Chains A and B, each alone.
Chain A
Amino acid sequence: MKALKESNNAVDPRIEIIDKRLENVKRVIAVSSGKGGVGKSLIASMLALTLAKKNYKVGLFDADFTSPSTHRILGVKKLEIKEEKGIIPMHVHGLKYMSIIAFSGEKTLPLRGADVSNALIELFSTTLWGNLDYLLVDMPPGISDTLLDVIRFVKKTEFLIVSTPSTLAFETVKKLLTLLKELKMPVVGVIENMKTKRGSPTRERVASANVSFLGVIPFDSEVEDALGDVDALSQTIFARKLAEIVPRIISPSA
């Protein structure tokens, strides 16, 4: 007789299965930043759409459970998921899509760290993404429970880091990069978003951190009115500038 553990924390079978759930996903890219409000959700959503348009198989997972945004960006009104030996993500605009709003709807969802971890493990262990070239994960800001759990449980994650020209943004990004380096997690590179002035301070800052600088996206006042309308969004300068960066994400040596 093997008692797995005397406490009520015995073996959690969900964790074991996560690798298997993602075995046919070629790349998992977590869009992260040390700072909030820098454009992670917009970049994750638009990057997913851009890759899907290039005929890649793409999934988008909104991992910001307390403040999900990607459904608003993509104009997803009602998320209906199907279950079939697991949870089948919804198809939206050519993407496989999963967000906590499939379960919490429009309601506020106040979660503490342990709940965030549990919900994350639950969704990673039950969502059947199937074959994907890219799974983009929209991360909550900062060095959060979600970030630590993605590092812990989704071993093949690569990080795409978003910063702004502000020194305050980069200050936090630097800490995040240091952590990722220490934990040997791959970093695709850094994007500078919401540029308003000439020059790109992030380019030099990133060079000294020994990480790829992927490019700059200007502050685009057209974005706000286009939110929720993917056709309008794809016409924005934001989308065009992001599209210029995409080849460097597809093949990091380009």
Chain B
Amino acid sequence: MHEWALAEAIISSAIDIAEKEGLAEVREVKIKVGELQQVEIEVLKFALSELRAGKLRNANFVIETVKAELRCQVCKLKWSFNKNGLDEMSTEAVHFVPEVVHAYIRCPRCGSPDFEILEGRGVWLESIKGVK
């Protein structure tokens, strides 16, 4: 996902949650970013600071990267994704749509493309702190 599109989605979800929780002002938004997607944290932070408004005006965004863990469906091997195994074009493709990693890498033990992305894909909102 592109960082700006991502930031827009985060802001929009956070505003929605703040509404539902009856928060008058949001102080902190914790975001987790999966390593697989190779999101540029600095760009994301900048986009978030540019886009924050309303209840999120003064919010601090805390971003944490989560390691990408894959598990083979066939031989059950678990391994960590290593971006060095991908060339520049595939890295960019995975950046936009992480699932296309199935076109580019294989289970290191049995060679199967049938593996699960256990952790470390996408972006999600972990928590929101604020005052009522």
Contact of B21 among A2, A85, A115, A119 (CB under 8 A): A2
Contact of A115 among B13, B117, B125 (CB under 8 A): B117
Number of A residues near B (Cβ < 8 Å) is 41
* Contact status B103-A109, CB under 8 Å: yes
* Contact status B124-A11, CB under 8 Å: yes
With both beta carbons as reference points, the residue of chain B lying nearest to A85 in the complex is identified as: B4
Contact of B1 among A3, A20, A100, A126 (CB under 8 A): A126
A227 at the B interface (CB under 8 A) = no
Instruction: Give the docked Cα–Cα distance between A64 and B16 (Å).
Output: 32
Q: For the side of the interface on B, what is the size category?
A: 35 or more
Instruction: Give the docked Cα–Cα distance between A1 and B125 (Å).
Output: 13
Which residues of B (84-127) have their CB < 8 Å from a CB of A? Answer: 93-94, 96-100, 102-104, 113-114, 116-117, 119, 121-127
Give chain B nearest CB distance to A206 CB in angstroms: 36
* Contact status B9-A111, CB under 8 Å: no
A245 at the B interface (CB under 8 A) = no
* Contact status A108-B103, CB under 8 Å: yes
Q: Count CB-based A-B contacts (< 8 Å).
A: 131
* Contact status B125-A11, CB under 8 Å: yes
With both beta carbons as reference points, the residue of chain A lying nearest to B31 in the complex is identified as: A13
| Complex interface: chain A residues within 8 A of B55 (CB) | none
* Contact status B104-A3, CB under 8 Å: no
Give chain A nearest CB distance to B131 CB in angstroms: 11
* Contact status B125-A118, CB under 8 Å: no
| Complex interface: chain B residues within 8 A of A4 (CB) | 17, 125-128
Measuring CB to CB, which residues of chain A are less than 8 angstroms from any residue of chain B? 1-4, 8-14, 16-17, 20, 65, 81, 83, 85-87, 100, 102-105, 107-112, 114-116, 118-119, 122-123, 125-126, 128
Measuring CB to CB, which residues of chain B are less than 8 angstroms from any residue of chain A? 1-2, 4-6, 8-10, 12-14, 16-17, 21, 32, 66, 73, 93-94, 96-100, 102-104, 113-114, 116-117, 119, 121-130
